[in-house]
Chains A and B, each alone.
Chain A
Amino acid sequence: MRTVSSPAPLKNHVRMEMAAVADNVALSRVTVAAFAAQLDFTLDEIEDIRVAVSEAVTNAVVHAYGDADLGGGVNHGGGVNPAGGANPGTVTLEVAHDGEALTIIVTDHGRGIADVALARQPAYTTDPERMGLGFAIMESFSDELEVASEVGRGTTVRMVKRPRAARASGAGEAAGDDRPV
């Protein structure tokens, strides 16, 4: 099961493949925030994007493979990396915009999520050092969130964020909640 990207023409896009390690979470935030500056986002909206990206990439680092750098606090014990060996696995970060909306896609090829609906519920965690709020935060800080996952194959998170200014001017879109994906 894979998400299907919006058919809107892309004006710009960046695709970055990186090791699923904690250091790359900050790199992902910086990259997406810089890219998002091409649209008319407010500083608050850029902050929302930074948090949402951080959650999506952190999920890949912590849950998809289990990052050895973390020194504890990893939910699922030892890493399960289909690629094998000490390789931390890879995360792919894609950002695109069509002039109106920013789309962020984070893909891993890790263990996957057996029950996405359950994982999306707040406080879904067994680890006292984590809050289980990753998906709840992604959902609140973006306009659309889709999660597609297959056990043993990996997880794809797709988020869309539109500048409030563009939404208010009704640039070809209604309130934006019920638009087709």
Chain B
Amino acid sequence: MKIEQEVRGRSLIIRLGGELDVKSAPEFREATEAALDRHSSNHLILNLENVSFVDSSGLGAILGRYRRLQQGGGRMSLVAPAPNVRRVMELSGLFKIMPVFRAEERALEG
């Protein structure tokens, strides 16, 4: 799994590429936790544009980060999930608790 990060003010942008499943979820979790610790960000923007697959392990890892942000008074946004990824997310109800944006810039404004 490819993981890229960029800090914009107090927002942390994480760009994922590849498949988010039981194998890659811990990688995503550890990289994101470390970046959140380092930058004391209060907004995590997860760019899913290049994610080709997500299952419940991936959703669980996303939800785990959401919980951390929420506990610290922060928030989390999702960006550009592909249609197949979106379908799994819809089933899980994640969209009820996290906003989804078409582009990172929109998430930064939102």
Please report A residues at the B interface, Cβ cutoff 8 Å. 22-23, 25-26, 29, 44, 47, 50-51, 54-55, 58, 61-62, 67, 69-73, 127-134, 136-137, 140
Contact = CB atoms under 8 A, between A and B. Distances in A.
17 contacts: A25-B22, A44-B84, A54-B53, A54-B55, A55-B55, A62-B22, A70-B22, A70-B26, A73-B29, A73-B60, A127-B60, A128-B64, A129-B60, A131-B56, A131-B60, A133-B92, A137-B56
Which 8 pairs show the lowest CB-CB distances between chains A and B?
A: A130-B60, A22-B23, A54-B55, A133-B56, A47-B84, A131-B60, A129-B64, A58-B22
A54 B61 contact: no
A30 to B, nearest CB: 10
A33 to B, nearest CB: 10
Given A25-B23, A58-B22, A61-B22, A140 B91 contact: yes
A94 B44 CA distance: 40
Main DSSP-derived SS at the B contact region: helix
A73 B28 CA distance: 13
A137 B55 contact: yes
Main DSSP-derived SS at the A contact region: helix
Contacts of A54: 21-22, 53, 55, 57
Contacts of A129: 25, 29, 60-61, 63-64
Contact of B21 (A26, A69, A136, A137): A26
B59 interface: yes
A62 B92 CA distance: 19
B57 A130 contact: yes
A71 B88 CA distance: 25
B67 interface: yes
B25 A136 contact: no
B49 interface: no
A26 B19 contact: yes
A26 B23 contact: yes
Contacts of A58: 21-22, 55-57
Nearest to A52: B55
A22 B91 contact: no
Contacts of A47: 84, 87
Interface centre among B19, B22, B59, B64 (most CB of A within 10 A): B22
